[in-house]
Amino acid sequence: MRKFDDSIPLKLLKAREVTMSFFRPTLQEIPLTEQQWRVIRALNEYKELESKQLADLCCILSPSLTGIISRLEQQGYIQRRKSTEDQRRVLISLTDQAKDMFERVSPTLEARYKAMAEQFSEENMEQLHDLLSKLCKIKP
């Protein structure tokens, strides 16, 4: 078996922790969890999604997403509505309050992303992105 420190899953976890350390302080000021921000980011881009679609996009298990959605709804950040085409479908979208908050916070988070990325060359960032994209596509 390979050495503990040579474990790709462990290296990915460590990389995630380092990466998130650039963003957590800003999210804590709002205050939002990383998962809540992921949901808001997805809804900002995709406008309106069903819970299952949101869970898949955000890499959040459905049971966990249920609580996240409830808390975001209580904070006034998301709203739910039944589909006009199929009353069984519930669509989730951002409120105006969430859109305003997103517009306020996004430049700060983008600056943090830039600060992180500046520690790599542009070529290395592209390689990292490409390799992670390829890794996400492999099948067990």
Q: How does DSSP assign 49-68, residue by residue? A: EEHHHHHHHHT--HHHHHHH
52: domain range?
4-137
How many CB atoms are closer than 10 A to CB 98?
20
Tell me what pLDDT residue 39 has. Answer: 98
pLDDT tens for the 140 residues of the chain, in order: 888 888 999 999 999 999 999 999 999 999 999 999 999 999 999 999 999 999 999 999 999 999 999 999 999 999 999 988 888 899 999 999 999 999 999 999 999 999 999 998 999 999 999 999 999 999 98
pLDDT at 27: 96
What is the value of pTM for the model shown?
A: 0.89
CATH number for position 87 = 1.10.10.10
Q: What is the 8-class DSSP label of residue 6?
A: G
- What's the structural domain count of the chain? 1
Count of C-beta atoms within a 10 Å radius of residue 36: 21
Cβ-Cβ contacts under 8 Å for 115 (sequence gap 6 or more): 22
Strand order in the sheet with 48-50: 48-50, 90-94, 78-82
